[in-house]
């Protein structure tokens, strides 16, 4: 066939470099070249010497083209044969009888080719990555030296097309990665928006002093305290007071992730690492690179994840699930727990070496009942936030004595319980004064004992008198006998009567029992 080489090169180059989508470029090339050389199939691949395999990128034939991301493992003898081959760019290797070439024979078996002839064309990209263009035609002795010369002219267009396609693929991956990070961080920041340290100058002053001491460092920090005391808010304060404040702040609730997914969530996974791993995924530690990761409920981590976490702390490196590449991460760790980790170490439920690594700088956050002086400021803070969220026109006035009742309550759920109570009160608010009493005392002990009246501490005799009146109300005034007040109080009935006379508590005919004046209720 007489071919105008200049026109052939021009037309082929237009088709090869006409699209950044490598499958389309390969298809257009195939449809053009099939009129000049025997051709049933073309495919592009990268040879990865580190894993001794080919990565098929795209394939084209008479039915069309498609992108691929298929790893084709090569037997040892094939890899050895490849190393022996003179893969000089622009040199095309013709293999007309595959049974005479060990590499081609093995490839035909692996790829399921029928008896064929092929041309192998090495492509050297500008990043020195070795690519391979394979042209195949059914039957033996299909290719001539003239075919190889025509194909050899197209090395540079094919190499440029492959390089551009790979770079385009990398850009798309980075774009998806940035979009994913943006969505993730937006959700995190939305949750953290508005959080501030209420009580930093009073009940949490010691905690904040420790925050300011440790924030400039990179040491791990362990936050300890009951559920709902505000550990996440303190972790947030440490991050934004540190040199890492411009970096990401990634939160992980260790107890909310299923045990089978914890490694994937923390350390990421490679494509195909397990069923459902359809793409590569970066873990939370990689997302937190250059910033801070907050591991809430660290005591809920399974032992296997604890071992991998220890490696990250000690060596600042990890491997994704299903991967072999070591990834270096620069991430500060803030852990939090409401559990007694030291006791868990003794019960072999938490690694001792991890405990020592995490507890370099422990911060204990006191429960709300130990800093009840912060309650008025917290109520004001939550009222401002919740009225804004619930679209109130203003903040309702609080009933007199309501704050005192809140201060007296033990707050087993701490700040979170107080926040929820404020929100419930606003939801049920129908006008007038805001009163929290019916929310509080319904959750208190069955037989509460008052310690204050109108904010004033009761004297001991007043406290005893109040308690006796409550018991008398329960027994409907019965003092002696089974189920009487004396039995419930564990004292002799006559002793109880003498104590009541001394305290001025009338009983029997002296006074109708069960009435408790407003001044003592």
Question: Residue 216 has what pLDDT?
Answer: 93
192 vs 206 pLDDT, higher one? 206
473-497 tens-digit pLDDT: 777 788 887 778 887 777 888 888 8
Rounded Cα–Cα distance for residues 319 and 328 (Å)? 9
Lookup: tokens for 82: 């490849």
pLDDT at 239 over 50: yes
**Overall size of the chain counted in residues:** 521
Residues near 86 by Cβ (< 8 Å), separated by ≥ 6? Answer: none
Architecture of domain 368-440: Orthogonal Bundle (1.10)
**Fold entry, domain 452-520:** Arc Repressor Mutant, subunit A (1.10.10)
Distance CA 277, CA 310 (A): 25
Higher pLDDT, 132 or 329: 329
Q: Where are the domains of the chain?
A: 5-167, 206-212+231-364, 368-440, 452-520
The C-alpha atoms of residue 365 and residue 136 are separated, in whole angstroms, by 71
Q: For residue 292, what pLDDT is reported? A: 93
What's residue 201's pLDDT? 80
DSSP SS3 for 302: coil
- Look at residue 108 and tell me whether its pLDDT is greater than 80: no
Superfamily of domain 5-167: GAF domain (3.30.450.40)
Tokens of 457: 């501490």
Distance CA 317, CA 311 (A): 7
- The predicted structure's pLDDT at residue 296: 92
Helices (H) and strands (E) in the chain, counts: 20, 15
Closest by Cα among 493, 502, 513 to 465: 502
Q: 382, 423 in Cβ contact below 8 A? A: yes
Which of 82-86, 159-163, 379-383 holds the top average pLDDT? 379-383
Q: What is the pLDDT of residue 176?
A: 66
In whole angstroms, what is the distance from residue 521 CA to residue 514 CA? 12
- SS3 per residue for 79-126: HHHHHHCCCCCCCCEEECCHHHCHHHHHHHHHHCCCCEEEEEEEEECC
The answer to whether residues 187 and 298 touch, using CB atoms and an 8 Å cutoff, is no
Whether the per-residue pLDDT at 172 is higher than 80: the answer is: no
Most confident of 7-21, 166-180, 425-439, 504-518: 7-21
Report the pLDDT value the prediction gives residue 19, as an integer from 0 to 100: 81
Give the per-residue pLDDT at 447. Answer: 41
Tokens 């995924």 belong to 281
What is the Cα–Cα distance from 196 to 380, expressed in whole angstroms?
13
Please, are residues 239 and 283 in contact by the beta-carbon 8 Å criterion?
Answer: no
> What's the N-to-C CA distance of the chain in angstroms?
111
The CA-atom distances, in angstroms, between 295 and each of 266, 328, 331, 490 are 10, 19, 12, 50
Indicate the pLDDT class of residue 336, thresholds 50, 70 and 90: very high
Beta carbons of 293 and 331 less than 8 angstroms apart: yes
Q: How confident is the model at residue 512 (pLDDT cuts 50, 70, 90)?
A: very low
Q: Average pLDDT in the 306-314 region?
A: 90
| CATH for the 206-212+231-364 domain, from 3.40.50.300, 3.40.50.2030, 3.40.50.720, 3.90.1150.10 | 3.40.50.300
Among 248, 234, 170, CA closest to 205:
234
Tell me the whole-structure pTM to 2 decimals. 0.53
Distance CA 498, CA 491 (A): 11
């Amino acid at each position: 066939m007489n071919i105008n080489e200049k026109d052939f090169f021009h037309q082929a180059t237009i088709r090869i470099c006409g699209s950044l989508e490598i499958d389309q470029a390969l298809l257009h090339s195939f449809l053009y070249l099939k009129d000049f050389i025997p051709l049933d199939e073309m495919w592009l691949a990268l040879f990865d010497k580190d894993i001794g395999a080919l990565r098929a990128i795209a394939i084209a034939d008479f039915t069309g083209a498609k992108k691929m991301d298929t790893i084709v493992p090569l037997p040892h003898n094939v890899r050895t044969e490849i190393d022996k081959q003179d893969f000089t760019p622009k040199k095309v290797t013709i293999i007309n009888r595959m049974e005479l070439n060990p590499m081609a024979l093995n490839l035909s078996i692996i790829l399921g080719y029928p008896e064929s002839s092929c041309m192998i064309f090495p492509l050297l990209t500008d990043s020195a990555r070795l690519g391979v263009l394979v042209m195949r035609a059914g039957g033996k002795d299909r290719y001539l030296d003239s075919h190889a010369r025509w194909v050899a002219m197209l090395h540079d267009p094919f190499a440029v097309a492959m390089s551009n396609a790979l770079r385009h693929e990398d850009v798309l991956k980075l774009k998806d990665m940035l979009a994913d990070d943006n969505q993730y961080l937006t959700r995190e920041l939305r949750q953290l928006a508005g959080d501030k340290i209420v009580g930093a100058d009073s009940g949490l002053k010691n905690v904040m002093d420790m925050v300011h001491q440790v924030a400039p460092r990179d040491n791990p920090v362990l936050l300890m305290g009951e559920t709902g005391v505000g550990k996440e808010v303190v972790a947030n304060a440490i991050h934004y007071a540190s040199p890492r404040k411009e970096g990401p702040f990634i939160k992980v609730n260790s107890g909310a992730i299923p045990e089978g997914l914890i490694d994937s969530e923390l350390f990421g996974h490679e494509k195909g690492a397990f069923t459902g791993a359809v793409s590569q995924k970066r873990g939370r530690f990689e997302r937190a690179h250059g910033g801070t990761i907050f591991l809430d409920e660290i005591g809920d981590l399974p032992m296997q994840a604890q071992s991998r976490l220890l490696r990250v702390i000690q060596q600042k490196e990890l491997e994704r699930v299903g991967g072999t590449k070591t990834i270096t991460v620069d991430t500060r760790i803030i852990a939090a727990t409401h559990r007694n980790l030291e006791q868990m170490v003794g019960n072999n439920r938490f690694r001792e070496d991890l405990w020592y690594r995490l507890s370099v700088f422990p911060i204990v956050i006191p429960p709300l009942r130990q800093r009840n002086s912060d309650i008025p400021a917290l109520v004001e803070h939550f009222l401002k936030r919740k009225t804004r969220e619930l679209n109130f026109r203003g903040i309702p006035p609080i009933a007199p004595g309501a704050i005192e009742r809140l201060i007296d309550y033990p707050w087993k759920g701490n700040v979170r319980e107080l926040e929820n109570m404020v929100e419930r009160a606003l939801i049920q608010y129908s006008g007038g004064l805001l009163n929290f009493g019916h929310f509080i005392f319904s959750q208190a002990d069955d037989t509460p004992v008052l310690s204050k009246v109108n904010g004033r501490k009761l004297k001991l005799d007043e406290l005893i008198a109040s308690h006796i009146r409550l018991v008398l109300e329960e027994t409907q005034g019965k003092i002696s006998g089974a189920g009487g007040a004396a039995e419930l109080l564990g004292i002799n009935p006559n002793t109880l009567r003498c104590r009541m006379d001394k305290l001025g508590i009338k009983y029997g005919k002296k006074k109708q029992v069960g009435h408790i004046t407003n001044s003592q209720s």
